[in-house]
Amino acid sequence: RDAVAGSDFPYALLTAGAAVLAFCLVLTALDGGLRAAVGPVPLRRAWRGLLARSLAAVTVHGLAGLMMAVLWRSPYGPVSALLVLLPMCVSWWVFAQYHRERAAHQATIRALVQAVDIKDGYTRGHSERVGQASVLIARELGMDDDRVEVLRFAGILHDVGKLGVPTRLLRKDGPLTPEERRVIELHPEYGHEMVRGISFLGEARAAILHHHERLDGSGYPYGLAGTRIPECARIVAVADAFDAMTSTRSYSRARPVEAALAELERCAGTHFDPRMVTALGRVLRRSGWHPAVTADEPAHDPAPAAPASRTEVPR
């Protein structure tokens, strides 16, 4: 019996490896095909990284199954094979804990965003759309999925600091006074303080703090310029300005997508990173802009479209 088990093992290992590889190739082909068909992911990047991720998980489970089969045929029989189930159960428990923690993170983010939306009715849905546009830019730049997810969080939470700004300023019709603008310009610092203890946000915290910086150093809160502005903040800045221009606000009418892109391109190199502007323009001209959330229309007629300087730095 031992001889049979030993002689079968190398061949079983080769067979199991071939089965794992075939399964992962089929899974990758299907998964990438779906991403290319229904998502805004560029065709050339739809399959990137999928095979490596599926191989890691399937190989571990395949080896565990093979180990159970080998132990089952060993002198110790089924009892020894059951010992393989113990680490697998521990792995399952850890995986379940991870997903529970992730669900809690998502609930926290939703609560913060809903609080901002309630406080500032004119920007309802703005956070989700900025998150969506940030994801489009990140994917077009070829960032890996983990960074894309961080950029989504950054876009969704970029305005969370508005919870610390008086509601009357957020809902004010017409231009702000210099003092009122200084108060509103504190919201990135408020937001950073609110999320600085949330470790899973990673570099999204820097985007929340610096998304109103400008490439020429004329932004706020610290007047950073060029590459001193974190890359994630430069992405969110473009996504934020784009949605501000394509949404109806108390102080401006919504612009067409092409007009908003033209304004971003005009300000590229001074206010916005040209790479991010080019990436957004490329993906929108290829796939269009289909936001998952649309802003509520204001109850009264909005003011005429604001000048470019107003739309370049959204409230």
**DSSP labels, 169-182:** HHT--SPPPHHHHH
Burial of 129: CB neighbours in 10 Å, binned 0-12, 13-18, 19+:
buried
Q: ω before 304 within 30° of 0 (cis)?
A: no
At residue 271, the 3 state secondary structure works out as coil
Q: What is the pLDDT of residue 11?
A: 64
Q: What is the pLDDT of residue 1?
A: 45
Q: Which residue has the tokens 């030993």?
A: 6
> What does the domain layout of the chain look like in residue ranges?
2-83, 103-312
Give which of 246, 252, 247 is closest to 296, Cα–Cα. Answer: 247
**Percent helix, percent strand, percent coil in the chain, to nearest 5:** 70, 0, 30
CB 312 within 8 A of CB 260: no
Q: Quickly list H helices, 120-230.
A: 126-140, 145-157, 167-170, 178-184, 187-195, 204-210
Per-residue pLDDT of the chain (315 residues; tens, 9 = 90+): 444 444 455 666 777 788 888 888 898 888 888 877 776 666 667 777 778 878 877 887 777 777 777 777 777 777 776 776 777 778 778 888 888 888 888 888 888 888 887 877 666 688 889 999 999 999 999 998 889 999 999 999 999 999 999 888 887 877 889 999 999 999 999 999 998 888 888 899 999 999 999 999 999 999 999 999 999 999 999 999 999 999 876 566 788 999 999 999 999 999 999 999 999 999 999 888 988 654 444 333 333 333 333 444 455
Q: What is the pLDDT of residue 17?
A: 81
CB 50 within 8 A of CB 31: yes
Whole-prediction pTM: 0.70
Phi-psi region of 156 (alpha: psi -120 to 50; beta: other; left: phi over 0): alpha
Give the CATH fold of the 103-312 domain.
Answer: Hypothetical protein af1432 (1.10.3210)
* Tokens read off for 135: 């994801």
Q: What is the pLDDT of residue 298?
A: 39
Give the number of other Cβ atoms within 10 Å of residue 222's Cβ: 15
Q: What is the pLDDT of residue 299?
A: 36
User: How far apart, in whole angstroms, are the C-alpha atoms of residue 311 and residue 304?
Assistant: 12
Give which of 81, 24, 23, 14 is closest to 52, Cα–Cα. Answer: 24
